[in-house]
Amino acid sequence: MSSAYDYEFKTIDGTPLPLSAFKDKVMLVVNTASRCGLTPQYEGLEKLYSDYKEKGLVVLGVPCNQFAGQEPGTDAEIKDFCETKFNVDFPLTAKVDVKDAGAHPFYKWAEAELGEPAVPVWNFHKILIGKHGEALQAFGPRTEPQAPEVTAAIEQAL
């Protein structure tokens, strides 16, 4: 049986980012975009990260340009935007596809594990990964990062 730890992204700076680096931590993997009506969720994601990182939560932002072209920038531009506009401190990956044939392998795995709810339908879709690399739950784009159902699921996973 595979786990999230079998997959690797590149960081927004281009270095390898194996998800196994987050073993024994809970991960909230979120496909992000800089020019979306939901972009202010970066604030909630950063707050979630700062509130729970000492307890073992990692928020992982995954920039994606598949939804109405709302993440057109380069990785460097995305990183600058996130850091200057939202003081993002959680890790960001290089820009990838999160759905359809070209989806990053992590997203194909998440769909195989959780079914249709794991397939992003828009920016800021969230996938919760447990301490052992298991896919736990998916949350739709309009579910705020600090919504009770998200924080309850995180607390239970921690």
Q: Kindly report, residue by residue over 9-57, the tens digit of the pLDDT.
A: 999 999 999 999 999 999 999 999 999 999 999 999 999 999 999 999 9
Cα(78)–Cα(13) distance, integer angstroms: 11
Hey, where are the domains in the chain? 4-157
Please return the burial class of 151, using the count of CB atoms within 10 Å of its CB with bins 0-12, 13-18 and 19+. middle
- Of all residues in the chain, what percent are helix, strand and coil, respectively (each to 5)? 35, 20, 45
Looking at residues 116-138, what average pLDDT do you find?
97
Name the residues annotated as catalytic.
Answer: 36
- pTM over 0.85? The answer is yes
Pick the CATH number of 4-157 from 3.40.605.10, 3.40.30.10, 1.10.10.410, 3.40.50.1100: 3.40.30.10
Q: Report the distance separating Cα 150 and Cα 123, nearest Å.
A: 17
- pLDDT tens-place string over residues 43-102: 999 999 999 999 999 999 999 999 999 999 999 999 999 999 999 999 999 999 999 999
